Amino acid sequence: MTTTENPTNAPAPEIGRDRRRKEDRRLITGRTRWTDNQAITGLLHLSIVRSPFAHAEIQGIDTSAAKQVPGVVGVYTAADIGADAVQLPCAWPITKDMKAPQRPALAGSRVNFAGEGVAVVVARSAAIAKDAAELVEVDYAELEPVLDMEDALKDGATLVHPEIGTNANAQWVFDSGEAGSGGSVAEALSAAEKDDDQVVIHRRFRQQRLVPVFMEPRSTVVDPTGEQLVMWSSTQVPHILKTMLALTLGLPENKLRVIAPDVGGGFGGKIAVAPEEVVTLLVARKLGKPVKWTETRSESLLTAHHGRDQIQDLTIAVTKDGIIKGLDVKLLADMGAYLGLVGPGVPILGAFMFNAIYKIPAYRFDCTNVFTTKTLTDAYRGAGRPEATFGIERMMDEVAVELGIEPMELRRKNWIKHEEFPYTTVSTLTYDTGNYEAATDQALQMFDYDGLRREQQERRQRGDVKQLGIGISTFTEMCGLAPSRVLGSLDYGAGGWETASIRMLPTGKAEVVVGVSPHGQGHETAFSQIVADKLGIAFEDVEILHGDTQSSYRGLDTYGSRSLAVGGIAMVKAAEKVIEKAKPIAAHMLEASEDDLEFTGGKFTVKGTDKGVGIADVALAVFAAHDYPEGIEPDIDAHATFDPENFSFPHGTHLCAVEVDTETGFVHLHKYVCVDDVGTVINPLIVEGQVHGGLAQGIAQALFEEAPYDESGTLLSGTLVDYTLPSAADLISFDTANTATPSTTNPLGVKGVGEAGTIASTPAVVNAVLDAVRQYGVKDIDMPTTPFRVWTAINSAKGTAGRGDEADVASPGAGLGSTASDISKGDTQGGHL
Ligand code: MCN
């Protein structure tokens, strides 16, 4: 269920209306062309030979057998196509002295993660290319893998990139004392240590490695035969890809055209200039023929970038009645073997979110990015913000337990009150609007919080096998990624503006060319609603065109829940310009003064009369151009660019109840309620869908998904049998709702929603699991909280786990509970798994 409460704007006919997604007809009935479906005469197929070793010298590559296979057109090593000389781009150098080792498109002399490409086979069919790739013999001399971030930073550690002399990529620090946005954390912690009315609590949390499992695997087709080289790619970022290809390969940008046709999901995993895209381009140019590469699912799991993978050390100073005095965050973030397009900046986005919705007087964030011999990490739904939200929301529960304060009450004591907005946080962001009380009150009521707490007590008293746990998570996030100036101050390599152009057709229909690029978000529907409202034309009369740099030549693409809050506003501004340009022509047609005209419902009317012309009439008059005013161009098309002054800050309260089977450790979702505030809602159905999808992903991190490596650096979840994506059967029906405090940073009052569900849900679920089992002495369980881990945690805490169980817990992928958490002033933490 979705409801919109407290809207300040009266609902317009289209904005705020549930509309089914018009693009779904073609997307879900197979009437579209994904990149892999591009049919070009003479298309060749490329397969990549990948290293089975995490870290090894390449001593020789024998391609002779593969070359003999009928149908094979060529077999190339990195040197053959210059792929070893390429430096794939990293657009976010977070510090001046950040170490950015070379990232070739194919490895030349050394591989640094299992799955890195070392050679390619090009053949007349994909099957031949794959079979022949098996025949390429590579002579590897194995090196020691680098797997553990803490070990990687020790003196004498094996280096992933010996040429940079360290496994540390960069250290990035924010200190509110130095920034002048708050006090010194060192002082706050030391004052708390000396104060009997305060406690200092330390916890270590792990963000396991995840894989953004998009439905459509990555794929690219390059056709070099025309005047412009055309690349189709299943990418989230066609514009960025085009510019980066030009810069990386020294190609003239005007000779490049990138097309992202319909793209089947991305979740951040397709924000990349992928080595495979570059290799396909290099081979296509060498051969002068069109070439296609499409990954297998296993290739995708192994080599498309991963997400998360952090160790978080949080130390909080808090008064015994629950008021936060200071928060210190130390992070280690695993970059994997190389730097992705925005990889180093992902944990830095989290720097601004650990303080979350709370008033924290002193804050320090200190992050070290580390190289390991694993697949590289980069943006994954939420990028830095789910990690931060997890850290602080887990910590809030730890504080609540430690101080014996009801967890929601603790949050209430510390959050920013609605009358305090706009509020500048300790990490220097200014939250424009929000109402945490309203969202929370609605969530509590929908959840029947008190009723479930009663049931929990009853089950405890009866000693039921299935115990109830209740978890809370509140959240806010910075999204609508822009403003350009702020991104610049964070050393991000691009701006944050977005564009839209409206082309008015002679028959009064509108083609809207947008710079953002959907891959499942329903843009064509929601954006048609906006433009229909603003121009006063029918929803069906608006066409949204995207994803082709030839028609949409300017844009910064889709990520960071920015498409509506930035791109949508560019559409509003373009529509306003269309009306502005149409006005003198309408006045001319009506033989009236422009000052006497008003525009409503798609029509210019002379005030106080029923004389009027529609925008469609003006469009036709402009097309004929027989009679239009002197000095005015016969053209009412318009282009606009929007660069907001601030992020948008959606927020919400998520409540989760789980049943934990104390005999099997199985966690069953019992109830999930969330109330999100995304400002003005354009399409409630789409918003609800976005939240549902996000919840599935966040819950999956808490309960199911993990990409672990064994001690040789081999990925253990290389298929979807091992990487446990939840199915519908693993989830329940979610109860979602919205409150609406419109954003003041854009004229629609909208805030992003694409990442919200993912950000808030993970800590809500883990807090619920722990709430069920704390009674046995369990203090923490690493994610995902699998039945085995939960069962082991309960039995270890009770002292009933046997030797065999302990051995299993320490096995790779079991979460390794060897984390050191403690509470100063006497308390110690046990049972952490
Ligand atoms: N919307 C709305 N009203 C609001 C906010 C949003 O109607 N107040 C609508 C928008 O018009 C848009 C959709 O909701 O149709 C999402 O909008 P927005 O929050 O601006 O997010 P983006 O369109 O920029 O999408 C990016 C975001 C991110 S960062 C990830 S990751 C993600 C996500 O979207 N990946 C997705 N949602 C996904 N959904 C699908 N199906 N597949 C993915 O890969």
Band of pLDDT at residue 395, cut at 50, 70 and 90: very high
Which residue of 3, 380, 521, 761 sits with most ligand 1 atoms within 8 Å of its CB, as the best mutation to test the pocket?
521
Structure tokens at 7: 């809207």
Neighbours of 96 (CB within 10 A): 7
Q: Nearest C-alpha to atom 36 of ligand 1 is from which residue?
A: 267
Atom of ligand 1 nearest to the CA of 520: 41
Q: How far apart are CA 420 and CA 435, in angstroms?
A: 10
pLDDT at residue 816 tops 90: no
For 803-823, what is the mean pLDDT?
33
pLDDT tens-place string over residues 599-647: 999 999 999 999 999 999 999 999 999 999 999 999 999 999 999 999 9
- The answer to whether the pTM exceeds 0.75 is yes
Structure tokens at 830: 């046990």
CA distances from 775 to 467, 655, 671, 823, 831 (A): 10, 20, 21, 18, 12
Report the candidate in 258, 170, 183 with the shortest Cα–Cα distance to residue 490.
Answer: 170
Band of pLDDT at residue 805, cut at 50, 70 and 90: very low
- Give 686 Cα–ligand 1 centroid separation in angstroms: 8
Report the candidate in 367, 370, 307 with the shortest Cα–Cα distance to residue 337.
Answer: 370
Q: Nearest C-alpha to atom 13 of ligand 1 is from which residue?
A: 521
User: Are 46 and 713 contacting, i.e. CB atoms less than 8 angstroms apart?
Assistant: no
Atom of ligand 1 nearest to the CA of 265: 44
User: Are 122 and 341 contacting, i.e. CB atoms less than 8 angstroms apart?
Assistant: no
- Give 520 Cα–ligand 1 centroid separation in angstroms: 8
Q: Nearest C-alpha to atom 11 of ligand 1 is from which residue?
A: 526
- Give 699 Cα–ligand 1 centroid separation in angstroms: 18
Q: Is the CB of 265 under 6 A from ligand 1?
A: yes
Instruction: Please give the pLDDT value at position 46.
Output: 98
User: Are 385 and 651 contacting, i.e. CB atoms less than 8 angstroms apart?
Assistant: no
Q: How far apart are CA 795 and CA 805, in angstroms?
A: 9
Atom of ligand 1 nearest to the CA of 758: 31
Q: Angle between the 787-798 and 756-773 helix axes, to the nearest 10 degrees?
A: 30
Q: Is the CB of 267 under 6 A from ligand 1?
A: yes
Q: Is the CB of 549 under 6 A from ligand 1?
A: no
Which residue of 530, 556, 564, 755 sits with most ligand 1 atoms within 8 Å of its CB, as the best mutation to test the pocket?
564
DSSP structure string for 50-99: E-SSSSEEEEEEE-HHHHHSTTEEEEEEHHHHTGGG---------STT--
Mean pLDDT of the chain: 94
- Give 713 Cα–ligand 1 centroid separation in angstroms: 35
What whole-number percentage of the chain has pLDDT above 70? 95
Q: Is the CB of 574 under 6 A from ligand 1?
A: no
User: Are 15 and 533 contacting, i.e. CB atoms less than 8 angstroms apart?
Assistant: yes
pLDDT at residue 373 tops 80: yes
Q: Is the CB of 212 under 6 A from ligand 1?
A: no
Band of pLDDT at residue 10, cut at 50, 70 and 90: very low
Q: Is the CB of 559 under 6 A from ligand 1?
A: yes
Q: Is the CB of 562 under 6 A from ligand 1?
A: yes
pLDDT tens-place string over residues 456-514: 999 999 999 999 999 999 999 999 999 999 999 999 989 999 999 999 999 999 999 99
Q: Is the CB of 16 under 6 A from ligand 1?
A: no
Q: Is the CB of 558 under 6 A from ligand 1?
A: yes
165: left (phi over 0), alpha (psi -120 to 50) or beta: left
- Where are any strands of DSSP class E within 477-596? 498-504, 510-514, 542-545
Q: How far apart are CA 814 and CA 708, in angstroms?
A: 9
Report the candidate in 246, 261, 318, 187 with the shortest Cα–Cα distance to residue 35.
Answer: 261
- Give 331 Cα–ligand 1 centroid separation in angstroms: 28
Q: Is the CB of 546 under 6 A from ligand 1?
A: no
- Give 69 Cα–ligand 1 centroid separation in angstroms: 46
- Give 740 Cα–ligand 1 centroid separation in angstroms: 17
- Give 558 Cα–ligand 1 centroid separation in angstroms: 8
DSSP state of 407: H
Backbone angles phi, psi at 405, to 5 degrees: -110, 140
Q: Is the CB of 523 under 6 A from ligand 1?
A: yes
Atom of ligand 1 nearest to the CA of 684: 7
Burial class (CB in 10 A: 0-12, 13-18, 19+), 582: buried
For 336-358, what is the mean pLDDT?
97
For 717-731, what is the mean pLDDT?
95
Atom of ligand 1 nearest to the CA of 682: 7
- Give 755 Cα–ligand 1 centroid separation in angstroms: 7
Q: Is the CB of 743 under 6 A from ligand 1?
A: no
Report the candidate in 338, 415, 274 with the shortest Cα–Cα distance to residue 99.
Answer: 338
For 109-130, what is the mean pLDDT?
98
Neighbours of 161 (CB within 10 A): 20
Q: Nearest C-alpha to atom 8 of ligand 1 is from which residue?
A: 681
User: What domains can you pick out in the chain, each with its CATH number?
Assistant: 24-32+497-642 (3.30.365.10), 35-143+217-263+270-303 (3.90.1170.50), 185-210+305-480+647-822 (3.30.365.10)
Q: Angle between the 449-462 and 436-447 helix axes, to the nearest 10 degrees?
A: 50
Measured in residues, the chain has a length of 833
pLDDT tens-place string over residues 641-684: 999 999 999 999 999 999 999 999 999 999 999 999 999 999 99
Q: Is the CB of 679 under 6 A from ligand 1?
A: yes
Q: How far apart are CA 480 and CA 807, in angstroms?
A: 46
Q: Nearest C-alpha to atom 14 of ligand 1 is from which residue?
A: 687
Q: Is the CB of 650 under 6 A from ligand 1?
A: no
Atom of ligand 1 nearest to the CA of 526: 11
Q: Is the CB of 270 under 6 A from ligand 1?
A: no
Instruction: Please give the pLDDT value at position 811.
Output: 31
